[in-house]
Structure 1
Amino acid sequence: MKYSNVTNIKDFIITGFPGLPPEYNGLVSVILLFVFLAIVFGNIFILGVIAGERSLHKPTYLIFFHLSLTDILFGIVTLPKIIARYWWDDMRCSFGACFTQMYFVHTLGAVHSLILLMMALDRFIAIWFPFQYPILLTNKTVSISCSLCWIFTSIRIMGIVLHALTLPYCDLNIIKHCYCEHISITKLACGDEVAYVKWVSFINAMITLLVPLTFIICSYFLIIIAVLKLSLTGQHHKVLSTCAPQIFITCLYYVPRCFNYLTDNLGFRFSLDAQIILAMMYSLIPAAVNPVIYCFRTMKIKKALMQRFKNRKVSLGIK
């Protein structure tokens, strides 16, 4: 069958969770609102603490800063629309807005992956090459590296989005997801090039996920070996307490994502609602829990907050 390279549809309809009974719409919207507020205010808090506390102006915390920035932007890009869908039954999203959201969803996800890689690199150098660490990782090198992650990823994802835009979208416009993303949108395309566009995107996604993940696994494996060689139990605890939250965040980010991409592109099928719930979990839970992990599991951030709280109490007492 021949298709002209013409798009007939003007809007997409975002269904959210297709199997959700209407009587639960209010509950879901409230839960999503609380998640949104947790992401926004929690990560604004982290950004403010790192930016305002001079003792935290170090490479490790600059990386945390960029990680929180990706989290807060992802929440802002995705959640307001799906909350509106369940709160006011606003399911319509214009063609251009949907592709714009898709661009930011995948850009922020890919940048997040590279920032996690930088976190692992930071810990690896700090533990294996402690004397070279101040030379290899400075505030300037980390800032330049993070900026390059943002710039090159933005350009690369723009190519993926423009590639999807070359497809004609004929009649189908119902996106069975909570936001616009590549897999859900290209399923609605028609024409002979759909399979090719999907495979290009799949290969790009696997490179984005598996290359950083391979390095992260190797680096943390070597870090654990280095920790086991330490003779002091206190040093064991200090190093592991620093790395454990990062390993948890990394697993939460990569494992479900890889599973979702592989099942969709290699022909494995499971419940659509389960797929969407899984996607929302790996997209939003790390963004919501990162501030808690950094505040309560990162010793220097805790000390900075405690010191600021004590100074505030002293200043109030003097007044």
Structure 2
Amino acid sequence: MNMAIANITVISHTLFYLLGIPGLEDHHIWISVPFFISYVIALLGNSLLIFIVATDHSLHEPMYIFLCMLAGVDICLSNITVPKALAIFWCNYGGISLYGCITQLFFIHSTFVAESGILLVMAFDRYVAICYPLRYTMVLTPSVIIKTSVAVFLRGAVTIFPIIFLLKRLTFCKNNLLPHTYCEHIGLAKYACANSIQVNIWYGIFVLLITVVLDIILIAASYCMILHAIFHIPSQDARHKALHTCGSHICVIFLFYIPGIFTFLVQRFGKHIPPHVHILMANVCMLAPPVMNPIIYGIKTKQIKNRMSYLLFRRPR
């Protein structure tokens, strides 16, 4: 009996199937419409933003360079997630290899961490511009911008890279049907056989704390100091101008973090909520920032708004 048990070979799944949004299969075609529209807007809007900053020498300043980085990350995030979702909705093609799934989730998580880092860097840019305006060009030199940019992307890659090995050590034999439109770390890990995924869970929490949570704390601290400096400016017009320069960034911060925090809380405490609601909210977190960021900056930033009007409608700036 013991020998028979010992001879049983556990077959690990190497092919998985993303199901899209279980429970709403009959509505996949209709759900694909906002996905596709959002994808097109994200690609066109962020590409136009990068083009405007790249071709207008008056916009070659740290704030707009960081904005270009944000737009580039948003394009990457859209390309990583939406095409596969559309393949599921349109062609019912959700097949993905284990390594393909791990690759997708690596780029999703590392890109998400990188975007959080860029928002932190943009908060630091506004802090220096408002609190130390005379030292702005001395602090944010081209060398500092390059080093900061490299550090942001390296942090995203380095912190997520161990997840690849944490997943490769697992044996997947429970199921190969993933109820989602894209692969994510714990969503894949929970399909492991008898292997303990406690390490995966704790490492995921650790990464969240040292990246996104830390970024939120530092951004909040930056804006506390920014507001303190603004309300000590004697001129009301100068106060209004300083607040206006932060308006776009604050909107983008709330758009990026609030849906993510809300989704995290719902996943942890909203066990009674149907699974398709969780999946839809997770997709909103991925779709909303790439779609809305160029619109927000296009509306609230005068230089970009004027340049967009000139390019799209040939109106003089």
Residues 15 and 96 of structure 2 are in contact (CA less than 8 Å); yes or no, is this contact kept in structure 1?
yes
Corresponding residue of 1:317: none
Corresponding residue of 1:20: 24
Structure 1, unpaired ranges of 5+: 315-319
For residues 165-217 of structure 1, give each alpha carbon's deviation from its aligned partner in whole angstroms, at most 9, with x where no partner exists.
21111131111222111121112112342122111112212321110100101
* Separation (CA, whole Å) in 2 of partners of 1:256 and 1:308: 32
For residues 4-36 of structure 1, give each alpha carbon's deviation from its aligned partner in whole angstroms, at most 9, with x where no partner exists.
9966212111112212141x2211112111111
Moved over 3 A (4+): 4-7, 258-264, 303-310
Residues 159 and 207 of structure 2 are in contact (CA less than 8 Å); yes or no, is this contact kept in structure 1?
no
Structure 2, unpaired ranges of 5+: none
Corresponding residue of 2:213: 210
Name the SS of the counterpart of 1:68 in structure 2: helix
Q: Where in structure 2 are the equivalents of 1:113-152 lying within 5 Å?
A: 113-152=116-155
Corresponding residue of 1:229: 232
Residues 5 and 168 of structure 1 are in contact (CA less than 8 Å); yes or no, is this contact kept in structure 2?
no
> Residue 109 in 1 paired to residue 112 in 2?
yes
Corresponding residue of 2:243: 240
- Alpha-carbon RMSD across the aligned residues, in angstroms, is 2.4
Name the SS of the counterpart of 1:71 in structure 2: helix
For residues 250-286 of structure 1, give each alpha carbon's deviation from its aligned partner in whole angstroms, at most 9, with x where no partner exists.
122223323434554x565233222222211122111
Q: How many residue pairs get matched?
A: 310
Residues 309 and 315 of structure 2 are in contact (CA less than 8 Å); yes or no, is this contact kept in structure 1?
no
For residues 60-97 of structure 1, give each alpha carbon's deviation from its aligned partner in whole angstroms, at most 9, with x where no partner exists.
11100110011000000100010110111112112111
Report the Cα offset of residue 303 of structure 1: 3.9
For residues 227-255 of structure 1, give each alpha carbon's deviation from its aligned partner in whole angstroms, at most 9, with x where no partner exists.
22223232222222221221121122223
Report the Cα offset of residue 42 of structure 1: 0.7
> Given the two structures, how large is their TM-score scaled by the length of structure 2?
0.90
Change (3 A) 1:128 1:5: farther
Report the Cα offset of residue 147 of structure 1: 1.6
Corresponding residue of 2:95: 92
> Given the two structures, how large is their TM-score scaled by the length of structure 1?
0.90
Corresponding residue of 1:9: 13
Residues 58 and 139 of structure 1 are in contact (CA less than 8 Å); yes or no, is this contact kept in structure 2?
no
* Separation (CA, whole Å) in 1 of partners of 2:308 and 2:170: 51
* Separation (CA, whole Å) in 1 of partners of 2:257 and 2:10: 36
Change (3 A) 1:191 1:65: same
For residues 130-156 of structure 1, give each alpha carbon's deviation from its aligned partner in whole angstroms, at most 9, with x where no partner exists.
111110012331122112211232122
